[in-house]
Amino acid sequence: MTGLDAFEARWRDVFSPKRPAAAAAAAATPVRGVSSSAPAPAALAASAFSQADDADSDSDPQRDKTTRPIVGYWYLFSGALVFSIVALGGLTRLTESGLSIVEWNVIKGMKPPQSQQEWEEEFEKYKQFPEYKLLNHHMTLSEFKFIFYMEWAHRMLGRFIGLSFILPGAYFAYKGYMTRGIQRVSLVVATLIGMQGVLGWLMVKSGLSDELLAKPGAVPRVSHYWLTAHLGSAFIIYSIMVATGLRILRSNRKLDLSLFAVSVCAFGDRQSRRALTMRADLVRQPMFKSPSFKTFRASSHGVAGLVLLTALSGGLVAGLDAGLIYNEFPFMGNGIVPEDFWALSTQTDRNPHPISWFRNVLENPSAVQFNHRVLACTTFTAISALWVVSRRIPLVRPARIAINALLGVAVIQVTLGITTLLYLVPVPLAAAHQCGSLTLLTVALWLMHTLRVVPK
């Protein structure tokens, strides 16, 4: 252990992060035997840490540093809940349970049927809609109970996420634990959570329309547009929660480092102050302002956007059951591009009323699956290229770990996607593939965070 590390351990015991103002005042108190020029390295270190953290940053850490760390952990906990509901929502869709509850009652719907009579009444409601008439007319009451509880659990978890975010958020705002900027973010997230519930019901309602009964060969399912909007909204909420939570914790860590730098210069020995100056010089290296580093950081944002876009295209695939056709890879039929790519926008005897090319791209299952393949391959190629470039850039250790993890998760996700396709979309593989998309987005967000965090 170096002299600086030993001092840091002692500093952690003396200076409580709960009283940063008191700690800073104590650290600034002159101590006998310490040179009056001691604050110079402190200013150097604080400046270096600030430059490393804030280079090309749009955020204002002077505002965020007053937000309590508990708020950051609360944001990450809420993000974990959103991850779980995305996983549960995928299972609900894959088990075809999403249309089992045909009403939306925010309060009354929290209580499932209790008696045999209540179950039979609920089952009778389900029998009035297309899914039962076209697909599940042989279903028994016990089988209905399974799909009912799947959808009920999904809705209940959504209610819990709303309450677990709004109630603590109101408390933290009241107690002054959040800055105004974080309060505004929290208000936006709370609004998005409420809209997510509305999107969910609109999605379910689209699968309850009696118009499906009039279409020959119609399959009872929700609109793939509403499904994608519902999934995309969950991904956006999750991304905001994770990014905000990490940003709050980073800001608090930066405050601790600034206080530590002052404390070293006030109370540390000469060896500790020299080590601090050397660490500050390391952080002040020009790599944080070099064009290559800036390009790498911008590219990490682009990769995260590609991951999100690919996940949204996966929502279209799921909504159209497009994964049940062309169960081969890399070909689709006789070539890379399926022969029926433009089937719905081409006038034929079987299709006398073609739709626009734009709708064909979004509504033709063959085209939707092809688009998802192209986006997935593009995302994987971009991640691989980013990893190769990272080998030529001197990154801090957390960023190095993050980019390696990003490539590893991408390999797993591509493998899951191909395997799910080849095996005709079995529930375990398909559910893992959906969770993998959110895991990949998580690692991409983590990489973005490490490229801004104060190096250890």
Dihedral sign for Cα 155, 157, 159, 165, please. negative
Question: pLDDT at position 148, please?
Answer: 97
Identify the pLDDT of residue 81: 98
Handedness of CA 342, 344, 346, 350 (dihedral sign): positive
Sign of the dihedral defined by the CA atoms of residues 279, 280, 285, 287, in that order? positive
For residue 278, which amino acid is it? M
**pTM here?**
0.82
d(CA 73, CA 70) in angstroms, rounded, equals 5
Q: How far apart are CA 140 and CA 23, in angstroms?
A: 67
Q: Which two tokens stand for residue 440?
A: 């990949």
* Model pLDDT, residue 374: 98
Q: Are 218 and 134 in contact (CB under 8 A)?
A: yes
Say how many CA atoms lie within 13 Å of 117 toward its Cβ. 0
pLDDT given at position 212: 76
Q: Is 291 exposed, middle or buried (0-12, 13-18, 19+ CB in 10 A)?
A: exposed
Q: Which of 82, 4, 428 is nearest to 257 (CA)?
A: 4
Q: And the tokens for 111?
A: 């209580």
- Report in angstroms the alpha-carbon separations of 9 from 19, 41, 252, 365: 17, 19, 18, 60
Beta bridge partners of 332: 335
Q: What are phi and psi of 230, to 5 degrees?
A: -65, -45
Give 37: exposed, middle or buried? Use CB within 10 Å, 0-12, 13-18, 19+.
exposed
User: What average pLDDT values come out for the chain (456 residues) when binned by 10 residues?
Assistant: 53 47 46 44 45 44 67 97 97 95 90 95 94 92 96 97 96 94 96 96 92 78 95 97 94 61 53 52 53 91 97 96 95 95 93 94 97 98 97 91 98 98 96 97 96 60
**Predicted local distance difference test score (pLDDT) of residue 57:** 43
Give, in order, the Cα–Cα distances in Å from 149 to each of 56, 111, 138, 276. Answer: 49, 11, 19, 58
**Alpha helical stretches, state H, 268-364:** 270-283, 291-320, 357-363
> H or E segment at 57?
none
pLDDT attached to residue 220 = 87
pLDDT of residue 258: 52
Residues 6+ apart with CB under 8 A from 55: 288, 289, 294
